[in-house]
């Protein structure tokens, strides 16, 4: 038997195990390793602080979504010995592989910023990138009497780069509904030079922020947080005061990547952006948030990568040349509050554009423009996630490579 091992049973790992179970030749067995028992629907974290979802809405057992052909080892990983083709587990067991797929994603690292993970963590400084953080933030928001809410991005790259903006929009909507608008001031603080990473969408989203009375503090690279005085301080000495801070801490890849000696400075795995083969060794591939490729860290990206990775695993096994085809395609709903959302679609070379999706000229979803239909789409996506995306079923009408029909393009300047 030959061994294919997947590290990580999140969105990308679970999806790949299902793809592979269907098409990997019989002489291969499939093992998937992760320490978790529960699979989180991570896009749902965003809705927990506002009470739209509760914890039970977004968790299900990991095993429920794994194919019977895959063996699940629920244990922490110590490291990967790339020279011996072994995955070492923390309990001393060693799992050999012929082909390894790394899909261990990214996690927040509040300890990277002085003053963030201290006594004020989850008291006046919150995250919503973990279930625990989102639940605690929900309680804090329910009890809050108003003041200055600062939504903050520590440094790029982060998982789901639109989430902080969505949080900001939803917070504005939440306080409006609670009749607290006059008691709350919201400021969006970012290390980027605008609201989003791509200029066209940044303009559009920047206008939305302005219309909703939300201030933006751009080009702010936080150096430390003074939790007692409740202020953010950046490397140039600029300060932003807050009453309640909702931050997206530094995002890092899994610690075992660092222990394996092949991650970059944030523990992301150097990966070829077109083939998804790692630059670590030929028989190691990487997918989803764990890679260092210049695409968004998002479930939709992992989904689109899945198709190319399947093809390349097949080609690698057969000793054929890999397909250098992944185009960085991302497709994200952006909640804008008050029951509306917009949708963005972009890749390595094309900026988010206006137009319709998925059918050219028809929609029903509108790109880069607010609508109620988009919001319904975002909520419906939870069903798509559990039933189609991670189970590796084809999602109709949404190809992995970005379609150019029905969209108004502007090339990315390089």
Partner 1 sequence: METTIAGKQVKLNEQGYLTDLNEWSREVATALAAEEGVELGEEHWPVLEYLQNQHKQEVPLTIRKVGKSGIVDIKGFYALFPGGPLKKASRIAGIPKPASCI
Residues binding partner 1 (CB under 8 A): 155-157, 161, 191-193, 197, 219, 221, 223, 235-236, 250, 264-266, 292, 294-297, 413-414
Angle at 372 between CA 368 and CA 378, to 5 degrees: 75
The C-alpha atoms of residue 408 and residue 405 are separated, in whole angstroms, by: 9
CB nearer to partner 1: pick between 266 and 376? 266
Residues 91 and 274 sit within 8 Å (Cβ to Cβ):
no
- CA 294 from centre of chain: 13
Beta bridge partners, 252, equal 107
CB nearer to partner 1: pick between 264 and 324? 264
* Nearest-approach distance from CB 273 to partner 1, in angstroms: 9
Q: Report the phi/psi class of residue 409: left, alpha or beta, with left for phi > 0 and alpha for psi in -120 to 50.
A: beta
User: Minimal CA–CA distance to 284: which of 307, 311, 313?
Assistant: 313
- CA 114 from centre of chain: 24
Residues 158 and 248 sit within 8 Å (Cβ to Cβ):
yes
CB nearer to partner 1: pick between 328 and 377? 328
Per the structure block, which two tokens stand in for 48? Answer: 């927990």
CB nearer to partner 1: pick between 83 and 265? 265
- CA 413 from centre of chain: 25
CB nearer to partner 1: pick between 192 and 398? 192
Annotate 154-196 with DSSP letters as a single string: -SS--BSTTHHHHHHHHHHHHHHHTT-GGGEEEEEE-SSSSSS
* Nearest-approach distance from CB 407 to partner 1, in angstroms: 20
The C-alpha atoms of residue 48 and residue 51 are separated, in whole angstroms, by: 5
* Nearest-approach distance from CB 77 to partner 1, in angstroms: 24
Neighbouring C-beta atoms of residue 150, cutoff 10 Å? 24
The C-alpha atoms of residue 17 and residue 317 are separated, in whole angstroms, by: 16
CB nearer to partner 1: pick between 187 and 292? 292
* Nearest-approach distance from CB 360 to partner 1, in angstroms: 26
* Nearest-approach distance from CB 201 to partner 1, in angstroms: 12
* Nearest-approach distance from CB 191 to partner 1, in angstroms: 8
CB nearer to partner 1: pick between 235 and 383? 235
CB nearer to partner 1: pick between 58 and 189? 189
């Amino acid at each position: 038997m030959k061994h294919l091992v997947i590290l990580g049973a999140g969105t990308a790992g679970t999806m790949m195990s299902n793809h592979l179970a269907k098409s990997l030749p019989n002489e291969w067995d499939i093992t998937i390793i992760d320490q978790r028992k529960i699979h989180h629907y991570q896009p749902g974290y965003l809705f927990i602080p506002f009470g739209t979802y509760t914890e039970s809405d977004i968790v299900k057992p990991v095993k429920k979504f794994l194919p019977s052909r895959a063996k699940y080892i629920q244990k922490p990983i110590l490291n990967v010995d790339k020279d011996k083709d072994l995955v070492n587990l923390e309990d001393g067991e060693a799992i050999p592989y012929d082909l390894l797929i790394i899909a261990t994603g990214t996690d927040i690292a509040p300890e990277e910023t002085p003053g963030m993970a201290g006594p004020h963590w989850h008291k006046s400084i919150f995250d919503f990138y973990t279930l625990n953080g989102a639940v605690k933030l929900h309680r804090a928001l329910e009890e809050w009497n108003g003041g200055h809410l600062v939504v903050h991005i520590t440094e790029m790259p982060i998982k789901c780069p639109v989430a902080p903006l969505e949080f900001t929009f939803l917070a504005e909507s939440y306080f409006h509904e609670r009749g607290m608008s006059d008691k709350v001031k919201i400021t969006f603080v970012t290390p980027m030079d605008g609201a989003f990473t791509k200029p066209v969408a940044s303009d559009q989203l920047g206008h939305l922020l302005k219309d909703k009375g939300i201030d933006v503090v751009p080009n702010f690279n936080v150096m430390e947080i003074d939790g007692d005085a409740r202020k953010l301080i950046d490397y140039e000495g600029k300060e932003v005061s807050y009453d309640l801070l909702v931050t997206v801490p530094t995002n890092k890849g899994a610690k075992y990547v660092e222990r394996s000696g092949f991650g970059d400075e944030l523990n992301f795995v150097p990966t070829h952006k077109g083939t998804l083969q790692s630059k670590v060794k030929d028989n190691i591939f990487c997918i989803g948030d764990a890679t260092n490729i210049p695409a968004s860290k998002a479930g939709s990206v992992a989904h689109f990568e899945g198709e190319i990775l399947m093809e390349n695993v097949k080609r690698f096994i057969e000793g054929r040349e890999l397909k250098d085809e992944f185009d960085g395609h991302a497709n994200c709903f952006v909640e804008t509050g008050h029951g509306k959302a917009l949708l963005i679609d972009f890749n390595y070379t094309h900026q988010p554009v206006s137009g319709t999706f998925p059918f050219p000229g028809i929609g029903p979803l509108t790109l880069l423009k607010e609508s109620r239909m988009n919001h319904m789409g975002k909520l419906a996506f939870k069903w798509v996630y559990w039933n189609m995306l991670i189970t590796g079923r084809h999602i109709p009408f949404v190809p992995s490579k970005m379609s150019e029909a029905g969209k108004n393009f502007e090339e990315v300047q390089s």
